Amino acid sequence: MKNNRYSIFFIGLAILTLSACVTTKYNRPEVKSDNLYRDSKTTDSTTIATLPWR
């Protein structure tokens, strides 16, 4: 009975240890993020700039 508990414990420990090695390290791809919004016009005409503050 005691031997069975040890074997189940070590099998569970091995599964938990090896499950951390499943994935590879993430490498972020190069993305061009310069001038994304250069010539874009906004189509939204609502603004709170014209509202009085009181």
For 9-50, what is each residue's pLDDT tens digit? Answer: 999 998 888 877 777 788 989 988 777 777 767 677 777 877
What is d(CA 54, CA 41) in angstroms, rounded to the nearest whole number? Answer: 31
Secondary structure, 3-state, the chain: CHHHHHHHHHHHHHHHHHHCCCCCCCCCCCCCCCCCCCCCCCCCCCCCCCCCCC
Quote the pLDDT of residue 9: 92
Quote the pLDDT of residue 32: 83
Quote the pLDDT of residue 11: 92
Q: What is the number of alpha carbons within 13 Å of residue 22 lying toward its C-beta?
A: 6
The answer on pLDDT for 52 being more than 80 is: yes
**Phi and psi torsions of 20, nearest 5°:** -75, -15
Task: Fill in the DSSP letter of residue 40.
Answer: P
